[in-house]
């Protein structure tokens, strides 16, 4: 029998779907911070509720079109939840054209502790939603191309075009910024302590 402490995410998810609350706790402990970061970087309010709804959806049997990887399955559900949250009030949005900054103005840039982080977050929030998601998951969560394509429900070829376009847009926005420090694609906040 597999030691509970050493169970894989796949084993934990199967156990949770069968009613094992300890498995749920361990999965949430493993993936909760990353999932919260996914929402907190985009929403002024509602990140907690979106996390809860995403975890609740993850507990359900997967859809036939769900990505095969554990992380990509969870992040695909997070993307669906984010878009549902942004569409509340029957607002029409297109994740290829609308950006978080126009849909969910908030204090995300203000809470970044250093000017480079603020510039980067400010620029990211002004990209189309799926471009922002693609860059964040590629650079901060290190998803590979197949995982990322599954999260965005696209093909690897279309993903390559999206990443190229999003990177160009981000670089242009950062170049137009007036701040002195040049930001990098490092994760913002407490996880980035190399420059301290």
pLDDT in tens, 84-140: 999 887 778 899 998 888 777 655 544 445 666 778 888 898 999 999 999 999 998
Lowest mean pLDDT among 5-14, 20-29, 67-76, 99-108: 99-108
Reference 75, options 142, 156, 6; nearest CA is 142
| Separation between Cα atoms, residue 123 and residue 119, nearest integer Å | 6
| Separation between Cα atoms, residue 65 and residue 120, nearest integer Å | 33
The larger pLDDT score, comparing residue 38 to residue 62, is at 38
Domain range annotation of the chain: 9-186
pLDDT in tens, 29-44: 999 999 999 998 888 6
pLDDT in tens, 151-185: 999 999 999 999 999 999 999 988 887 544 444 44
Query: What does the pLDDT read at residue 180?
Result: 40
| Residue 80 buriedness (CB in 10 A; 0-12 / 13-18 / 19+) | middle
């Amino acid at each position: 029998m597999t030691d509970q402490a050493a169970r894989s995410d796949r084993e934990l998810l199967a156990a949770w779907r069968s009613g094992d609350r300890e498995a749920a706790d361990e999965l949430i402990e493993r993936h909760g911070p990353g999932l919260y970061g996914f929402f907190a970087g985009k929403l002024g309010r509602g990140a907690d509720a979106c996390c809860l709804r995403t975890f609740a959806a993850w507990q359900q049997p997967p859809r036939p079109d769900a990505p095969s990887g554990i992380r990509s399955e969870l992040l695909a559900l997070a993307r669906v939840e984010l878009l549902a949250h942004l569409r509340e009030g029957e607002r029409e949005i297109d994740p290829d054209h609308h950006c978080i900054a126009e849909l969910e103005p908030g204090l995300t840039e203000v809470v970044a502790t250093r000017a480079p982080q603020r510039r980067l977050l400010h620029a990211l929030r002004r990209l189309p939603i799926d471009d922002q998601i693609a860059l964040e998951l590629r650079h901060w969560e290190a998803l590979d191309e197949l995982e990322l394509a599954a999260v965005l429900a696209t093909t690897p070829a279309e993903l390559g075009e999206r990443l190229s376009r999003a990177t160009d847009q981000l670089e242009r926005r950062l170049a137009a910024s007036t701040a002195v420090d040049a930001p990098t694609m490092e994760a913002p906040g407490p996880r980035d302590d190399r420059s301290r």
